[in-house]
Structure 1
Amino acid sequence: MKGKKITRKRFLLAGGGTGGHIYPALSIGRELLARFPDAEILFVGGRRGLEGDLVPKVGFEFRAITVSGFERKLSLDTVATAGRAVAGLFQSIAIVRKFRPNVAVGTGGYASGPVMLAAAMMGVPVVIHEQNVVPGATNRLLSRWAKTVALSWDESKKYLARPERSVLTGNPIRPEIMTAEREESAASFGLDPRHPTVLAFGGSQGARKINTAFIGALPSLAAQHKAQFMLATGSDKFEESMDLAARVGLRATISSDGIGRSDSGDIIIMPYIYNMPQALACADLVICRAGAITIAELAARGVPALLIPHPHVPDNVQEKNARAMEARGAARVILDGDLDPAVLESEIGSLLSRASALRDMAEAARGVGQPDAVRKVADCVVRAAQGVSSKA
């Protein structure tokens, strides 16, 4: 990798609002710090986003700016939001001027916009990373000034102002996703690694629609298939989910660790999965939403999925993510409005009955996966710092 030598190593990261924007930035920051242990990392985000809590916990310096999302219709709130955006831009200019980064890296979200714009205005090379098939409004705008746009999907190019500056890198994931072993992971949940395991979850807060459909399908699935089933309900939906399990005839008790287990041991219902890398390591089929990070982790591990896109995400990006996986043979898609116990039982049952179908989907998923995505994105950042172009 040729170019000027990087002497002063300062990297500015910006993104936030949701984990889908924050976690890739944290992964990129860790990779840069691993390459340059003496580097300075500064993360800029919104005052009210998750980033204010998550970023300091990993040891990065955090600065907050004033920012909020735009309403999609003209109103007094829109005017107020515009005022906050201007304030955020001036705050970002002050931060960039003081920190003097080699490169500014944006991972999307409203907080990323003013920071990357300020960096571009001040001559700092900008690298942005896009997680979804359809780039968000912030990244579509910033792609005009970015030195490099790191993409997770090749079809995202057509949405960019300057597609020739894009590079297909994939979506950075946690390294633990790839290092977790099936046998040890199954044992940590009290499961048998020799039997297929079906894992269902609806994100960190759970999804009532998924909980209801999965629990409703369990009696028939457990009776017909020698398989194991895990469900993460979301902490505030655990009690109602256990009540539903009792109503559909599942004999399960809550153990001392706060987890519901069937008498036969083949069904586990828990409020939250704290060790998701281990859960994915022992899963042969996953039922979940279609967030960018989740899909990247599934693909990297080669886990087949039934994807149920969240119906209320802006620009319907989850369905577009899910359809991209479906088109590659790595997943099947069930729309939220079509989801019920009978539909889910049919889909899960058809796959558990055909091991070859699961194997084909797993192979297709691995073909989509980019386990080394964080390295590729970091390469783009280093090239930008050296004044070298990353070519599509």
Structure 2
Amino acid sequence: MTADRLALSGARLVLPGGVVEGDRLAVEGERIAGLGGTATPGDLDLTGYTVVPGFVDLHVHGGGGASYASGIAEEALRAARTHLEHGTTTTVASTVTGEIDDLARQAAVLSELAEDGVVAGVHFEGPFISRNRCGAHRPDLLRDPDPALVRKLVDAARGHARMVTLAPELPGGLDSVRMLADLGVIAAVGHTDSDYTRTLEAIGAGATVATHLFNAMPGIAHRAPGPIVALLEDERVTVELINDGVHLHPSVLDLAYGTAGASRVALITDAMGAAGMGDGLYPLGPLQVEVEDGVARLVEGGAIAGSTLTLDVAFKRSVTVNGLSLNQAVESLSTVPARLLGLADRVGTLETGKLADLVVVDSTSYDLVAVMRRGEWITGGERFAPITTA
């Protein structure tokens, strides 16, 4: 079997139609060339392992000690590589609140990496968010979502702006949502103090994503349901959830799945530079973050400042803690975000003709074993031995 052709045999494959045990997946070049069939000599033996599509992260700020908000290409490359080694084969680079001109410069750098295929686009989280729900964003840098300012950032990304998180209750919020929808950029409701009615108006104007649902927004009250209920109940909305055991209690995550279903949930990391690293001090845009026992908090004020999560951990937690089926976990980690980004024809499921973006996990522990992107092993491929007899 040539270097640009290989086959994996004996694995459990999580396919769109269900889970198939002990099957065969053939790769040719960058793509999946076929599914099913009998193992042949030279195939790699993946008995005891499970193969799922590469993970797709809609919302991640950094990793490996590096930040997408640095505006430095080498840092962005390091962050992307860190998450790639943990199974994220498609990643959207998220910025953090800063001066408009600084964000535009960051977007220009990230757009070049998008053109090179390193990232799948840019997500602007801030500065168009509520001061009352700003979390790990500098309040003095926040701005109302004036459509002209929003458009300036979108244009700076040179066609690679994928998503803008904003608070729709702020002046210009609904107009910006409409503009983003017209431009084909995802308008996401987040870091918001919006009520139920204004959130419904934002959805009606074209908002289709809830940025890290439950976090940085009002909770549910019995006479004031707030944004959470509005976002959960509307079938047009995809809800982001951070399954790291810190941002959400497992029962809250279960509630979201029970209401929206896996077909409307995108599991994200919201990771900052400490992902894949140890405890210590790290920058998050213009702010300093201290990580202790894997939990990231602002040095000043102590607010949770993103996560140190990687999506392989989110996958394992979803199956072992929340009891999701393998197909449900794959939906939320791969299929749903790929569809939202308009990339479902290339990634998000294991199907013939799609890119060979694969994650291999142990079938018992669900720990990460290997990652393949576009037909090339990124990590772990050396552990699989070829089959020598039919």
TM-score calculated relative to the size of structure 1: 0.31
Please say which structure displays the higher CA radius of gyration. Answer: 1
TM-score calculated relative to the size of structure 2: 0.31
Q: Which protein has greater RCO, CA pairs closer than 8 Å, 6+ apart?
A: 2
More strand by share: 2
More helix by share: 1
